Structure 1
């Protein structure tokens, strides 16, 4: 199966400008393509994950990736999919985030001479002359067409700022610049970027008389149509200091039955034939598929050693075996206990991050969803004595999937 057909079979491709030409380019390793990443945080997250995997697939097939970090466009803020304006960041914050992105991307893409490139659009956007942009680029964009773009629709309801209105022009200018400097003939991105990407192909055609191409990939949505990669506590990050390898593993281990096969196809590098076999699995076998998904993705992001540790930790809790040392840990100090050496169960749940407040912790206990070392706790006034926490710690659990190993320093 050729690369393009595999991307279709995996459910990745959403829209293309010219299927015949794009198929020819990527199947034969002739594409020099870019994907943009705006550094709006100090870590990439699951929302970026599919784009990184796509870059890896294309590079493996001989195509040349350009990872564009939006040090310049981040100063404006992408309005796509937003109902409010993004918070303005300082140049120092943006530069810090850029460095974090560079480090994480090298896990997926091979950079170096003749391989992938990493560029920052701040290198050309920050020095643009406003009058020159108006005269040189402005005539090629009509306001009517821009306002009809999907990426602006939600912002129009609350008021689209002139700052954000320029984002499409800046992204189009990126493609135009990369085409001239590096022969970049394709742009890939999420399906919410379609209008911005078309702006770039059109600018290249109008200014240079050349053809360039765009392809969007489907957003990673669950069976309810909601974006994946979000938890109650926020995004699922690729930085192990923000989302631990264990929590990353658990996120994928806990996807719904309806989503596991789709995630295996879209995100892993397992052969399609192997995944198609899993389509026949039912009941408890689906849990095995979820563990395979979690392991493969954790290995991609954090390495095989961390993936194995996470799997062992999960099995220790859920399968009654494995190594409990791999569980996530909350450390208590002497100051956490009262004069009698006790700590209340509600306080402990909050400190372990298993409840956001004493009120929520109380409800969890009263509803029978809390246990310590397998013993259900039903009294909100229950306490744990320091002497009862052994050197190996205790396992505090809330619900079926939230737990923490508690140790004393």
Structure 2
């Protein structure tokens, strides 16, 4: 199959190659023909997140360039969990791991093609790990791992004082066995992952060399951080989930729309399929007029479309335009509107208590501090219900005001708004 010889140059320009085993050897392999590669996802949460998205997009870039992906879901490694600096993991039940494994598999499938000459293949490391006895594992895998080198790993070294179980200490053996198994059974010769997996990934490449004498390849992408250096992830505040039931497409779109000026061009390179010319043009316009937030809009639209599809992107854009720009709210899908309002903060009122007055809702929603302030805001023309100015300080909500049968949007001034759910 024909491959794109410029792939590695593009990955490097985008900042996606933080470390690699041997760049010259990797370049030679990627230009010689279709390379079989793999990337792994441990089901340690019910959804994939931003860090996983970097790997999914990287795998898609490799596949689009003519290479053949193997997507590994860690039904076995997910039972253990990679050691983390903060302390010992709480082990999830086997039932939970199986459920999350299925969820992760379903999440991965839309991002790659499972048809054609370089069709993707989904694998689960539980399939081969569960078939191996403890004695075989220790003899065939464990004998290739010097303990002194395992103790030198950063995370293990940091955990030695606070304590680390043999279970987590052995995680690197399980992940390394994945590379050896995929090399033997499928001819996989490249693994990619995140920088925090560099030790595990290189240990796998070394295991293949020790057992078979063959050279295989690896590279890792940088961790995604905010401008102040703090990271994103499922264990950090503000996690970016890919599951729409855990983070609505509207909230997802808003996240990218609010990207920091210092990071937006970096995110465009990492997370979008825009060309170098398109990104450099956006970078130039962003430098000249950052207040226009053109780069952020391009980023938000591109990433949301990739993850959730064009329709959800259009709905998220329309919701933001309606809420912040005063457009007609009745054209919005009530589910999208509800998701947007929940992000902004909503107040629930009981329909059985009778329809409330707008002034009371302004107070309950926190848009004003007192009823007199609510009446004054209405009198001055600064209060809105569903983007329509409220003229009467004693106005009551009627059934026709309820969007989708339950939602109201209150606004004070141009930018401050709140949602009300009538239940």
TM-score by length of 2: 0.81
Aligned-partner Cα distance in 2 for 1:308–1:399: 26
Aligned-partner Cα distance in 2 for 1:162–1:342: 63
Residue-pair matches, total:
387
Cα distance, 1:50 vs structure 2: 0.6
Decide which of 41, 49, 55 is 1:51's aligned counterpart.
Answer: 55
Aligned-partner Cα distance in 2 for 1:342–1:288: 40
Deviation readout 1:189-234 (Å, 9 max, x if unpaired):
0001111111111111111111111111111112211123679974
TM-score by length of 1: 0.84
Structure 1 residues not aligned, in runs of 5+: 350-360, 377-383
Q: Secondary structure at the match of 2:105?
A: helix
Task: Tell me which moved more, 258-267 or 221-230.
Answer: 221-230
Say if 2:349 and 2:420, in contact at 8 Å, map to a contact too: no
Match of 2:108 in 1: 105
1:9 aligns with 2:13: yes
Change (3 A) 1:38 1:230: closer
Match of 1:240 in 2: 244
Aligned-partner Cα distance in 1 for 2:268–2:126: 36
Give the alignment's Cα RMSD to 1 decimal.
3.4
Cα distance, 1:320 vs structure 2: 3.5
1:26 aligns with 2:34: no
Change (3 A) 1:304 1:19: same
Match of 1:317 in 2: 323
Say if 1:151 and 1:192, in contact at 8 Å, map to a contact too: no
Task: Tell me which moved more, 165-174 or 319-328.
Answer: 319-328
Cα distance, 1:21 vs structure 2: 1.5
Cα distance, 1:292 vs structure 2: 1.0
Cα distance, 1:105 vs structure 2: 1.0
1:226 aligns with 2:230: yes
Deviation readout 1:121-144 (Å, 9 max, x if unpaired):
011112321112222222211111
Aligned-partner Cα distance in 2 for 1:211–1:233: 40
Change (3 A) 1:391 1:48: same
Say if 1:83 and 1:158, in contact at 8 Å, map to a contact too: no
Cα distance, 1:25 vs structure 2: 2.2
Say if 1:13 and 1:217, in contact at 8 Å, map to a contact too: yes
Q: Secondary structure at the match of 1:6?
A: helix
- Find the structure with the greater CA-based Rg: 2
Structure 2 residues not aligned, in runs of 5+: 385-393
Decide which of 71, 80, 93 is 2:96's aligned counterpart.
Answer: 93
Match of 1:263 in 2: 267
Change (3 A) 1:229 1:251: farther
